[in-house]
Amino acid sequence: MKKILMNKNIEILLAEYDAATSVFTKIYELYNIYYAPYILKSFYEKDNINNDSFRTNLSDLFKGRGIPSWRDKIDLLLYRLNITAPYELLDKAFGLSLSDQYWLKPDKSSIKYDDINFFDNNFDYAEFMEASLSKNSTTITKETSLKTPNNTTDGMLKKAWIIENNTRYLLKSGYKNETLQPFNEVLASEICKRLGFNHVEYTLDTYKDTVVSKCPCFITKDTELITCYQIKNNMVRHDNIEDYEEYINILEKNGIKDAREKTENMYILDFLIMNEDRHLNNFGIIRDVNTLKWLDVAPIFDNGQSLNITYYDEEELHISGEGRLFYEIKPFDEIIKVVKNIKRIDINKLDGLVEWFDNLLHKYQHLTGYSDTRINRLCLILNRQINKLKELIENN
C-alpha cells in the first residue's frame, strides 16, 4: 500500500509500505526532506532515496517507534491485545506518537493531522492501561482501544498514556518484581526542583495496588523531541569525552542557550541518584516542527534505573558506581568531571532530602513490601552521594 510520510500536514515522501512487516519496500518520490525526522535527513545526506540503505533506515526508524520486543512481559501484553507482534500496532493509528508529529497517511487520502493527532483528540486508554499494567486482565474487546499513542511507546517498562483534565499523562510501573523505578523518578523530580534544574515533573500514583510514576507529556503538537541518538548520527564517533564535547558544540551552534550547563545538570542528577541508564535516547533537544528551530535542551526525564536497583540484596549493601557518558560505561566519579563549574550548585538546598525520601518510601511500604533495612540502605546510598557532591564542591 502506498503511504505518505507526513510531518503534521507537510508531505515528506511517498513510499510503498508493507503493513504486515512494517517495512518500506520502495520509495517513489521525495517531497520535502527538511521536514523529515532529523535522523532521516542525516541518512539522506549520506545516501539518496534510491539507495537501499536509505530505505532500510526508513523502515528501521518507523519500526523503532513501536513497543520494543524487550518490553517487560511483552508476550502477555500481546496476548491481551490480541496481536502477534508489537509492530502490528503501528498501522492501527497512523503511527502517531506523543513525542513528535510524524505519521503515515494513505496515498490519496484527504485526512488531516488535526483530525487524528493525539494532542488534540481524545483516545480510549482504559483497556490498554488494563492490559499493560494489570496483573490480571482479559483481552481487549474494543478496536478503538488500539488507536492510541500507547502503540508508540519505547522502553522496557510497562506503561500507558492516559488523559486527565485534558492533560496527557504517562504512567510507568517497575520492572518485573522490582518496584523502585517510580520512586526514583519522583526522587529525581524533587532534586531537580530543589536545585532549579529543568525537568519533567513525576508524581506517584497507584493502579490496582501497583505503585506507578505519573508525568505529563512535555511535547506539544508544535514541538518534537530529537534525541541525542539522532543527533550523534552526524557526529564523528571517538568513544571518549570528545563525543560529549562535539554534542555540546552542535547544540550551541544551533542556538541552544546554556546547552552545556543544562546538560551538566543531567549528569549532576545522575551522580546524586546513581542513574545507570542515561542512554542516548533519554536526553536530547526540543525542536519546533513548524520552523525547525532548535528551542532548548529537553527537560530531564527517565531516571528510574537508579540507586543500585540492579544490585539490590537484602543481606548486603552493594555499591555499584558506574553510569553512562555517551557510549562509555564510566564511574560516576569520572562522569561528574564533565561539570565545568560545580561550585554553582547550592548543595544546602538538598538539606532534608534523605529524610523526605525515607518518609516517601515508608508511606508506600504497605504496597511495596520494602523492609526497613532496604529503605535504610537506599537512604544511606543517597546520603553518601550528597556528601560526595558536597566534598567536590568544597574542594574545587
Domain identity same for 336 and 228: yes
pLDDT in tens, 98-129: 999 999 999 999 999 999 999 999 999 988 88
Residue 69 placed within a domain: no
CA-based nearest residue to 261, from 188, 343, 206: 343
State the Cα–Cα distance between residues 180 and 185, nearest whole angstrom: 9
* pLDDT value of residue 208: 86
pLDDT in tens, 266-289: 999 999 999 999 999 999 999 999
- Give the end of a domain, one of 184, 216, 248: 216
Q: Is 168 helix (H, G, I), strand (E, B) or coil?
A: strand
Domain identity same for 16 and 139: no
Domain identity same for 287 and 368: yes
* pLDDT value of residue 204: 97
* pLDDT value of residue 91: 84
User: In this model, does residue 312 exceed pLDDT 70?
Assistant: no
Burial class (CB in 10 A: 0-12, 13-18, 19+), 142: exposed
Domain identity same for 55 and 78: no
213-236: average pLDDT: 94
CA-based nearest residue to 181, from 214, 149, 151: 214
User: In this model, does residue 250 exceed pLDDT 90?
Assistant: yes
Domain identity same for 378 and 260: yes
* Domain tally, the chain: 3
pLDDT in tens, 13-29: 999 999 888 899 999 99
Domain identity same for 205 and 325: no
State the Cα–Cα distance between residues 58 and 151, nearest whole angstrom: 18
Range of the domain at 41: 2-63
User: In this model, does residue 316 exceed pLDDT 80?
Assistant: no
Domain identity same for 169 and 230: no
User: In this model, does residue 311 exceed pLDDT 70?
Assistant: no
* Percent of the chain clearing pLDDT 70 (strictly above): 96
Domain identity same for 247 and 301: yes
Return mean pLDDT, the chain. Answer: 92
* pLDDT value of residue 341: 95
Query: Angle at CA 178, nearest 5°, toward 320 and 331?
Result: 15
Residue 377 placed within a domain: yes
Range name among 182-196, 279-293, 314-328, 369-383 with the lowest pLDDT average? 314-328
Which residues, in sequence order, are bridge partners of residue 346?
A: none
Domain identity same for 113 and 192: yes
- Give the end of a domain, one of 39, 63, 87: 63
Domain identity same for 269 and 129: no
Neighbours of 310 (CB within 10 A): 11
CATH number at residue 94: 3.30.200.120
Domain identity same for 176 and 101: yes
Residue 370 placed within a domain: yes
* Percent of the chain clearing pLDDT 90 (strictly above): 71
Residue 68 placed within a domain: no
Domain identity same for 129 and 100: yes
